[in-house]
Amino acid sequence: MEQNYWKKCSACKKEIPFSHKYYQCSVSTCQGKRTGLQFCSVSCWERHLPGARHKNAGAIEKHSPSKAEFEKEQGSTEASQPQRRIIRSQPAATQGSPGDKAKVDNHEVLIVASKLKQYIKDVSGMNTSQSVLNVLSDMVRRASQDAIDRAREDGRKTVLDRDFK
């Protein structure tokens, strides 16, 4: 789709035509490539001032490029920019195939220690040994594996609360 205007006003979103007068804020942070504020009129420029909180600012009158200049600028900008690559990494827990037991740490504590210790303290007034966390984690692993097996037997890929019996 071919663009028939230079840019849109940052305040009112009206199109600013090619080879036309527009206004830019005199503050350098409003002129950067990322911010790139441009306004179709002085009143639109004034609308951005309360949010911008400038101490001393002015509206600078400028002229937008012609369509030919704009297209030339766009072509050279795209050619000079390095190509952007997005590399997605998988979290450690999801790397490998599902059920890859070689990557599972069977000694990792699965229980939130502070929550468990606080619960036992509130209910009984007793302290909790650190070794309790390992025993409970093993119990959770066994119960989880049983629930996984039940879900597979039912042909599901989601473990439900009813799978824990």
Beta carbons of 103 and 96 less than 8 angstroms apart: yes
- What pLDDT digit, counting tens, does each position of 27-40 carry? 888 888 788 889 99
Say what the pLDDT of residue 51 is.
81
Which two structure tokens, joined as six digits, stand for 17? Answer: 């035509």
Q: Where are the beta strands (DSSP E) in 2-157?
A: 7-8, 15-16, 21-25, 59-63
Which two structure tokens, joined as six digits, stand for 157? Answer: 């890929």
The CA angle 77-78-79, to the nearest 5 degrees, is: 90
CA 136 to chain centre: 35
For the ranges 5-14, 26-35, 58-67, 132-141, the lowest mean pLDDT is seen at 26-35
pLDDT at 164 over 80: yes
Question: How is the chain split into domains, by residue range?
Answer: 7-78, 104-163
**Count of alpha carbons within 13 angstroms of residue 110, beta-carbon side:** 14
Q: What one-character DSSP code corresponds to residue 82?
A: P
| Residues above pLDDT 90, as percent of the chain | 40
pLDDT at 96 over 60: no
- The whole-angstrom separation of Cα 27 and Cα 51 is 13
pLDDT at 101 over 60: no
Say what the pLDDT of residue 145 is.
93
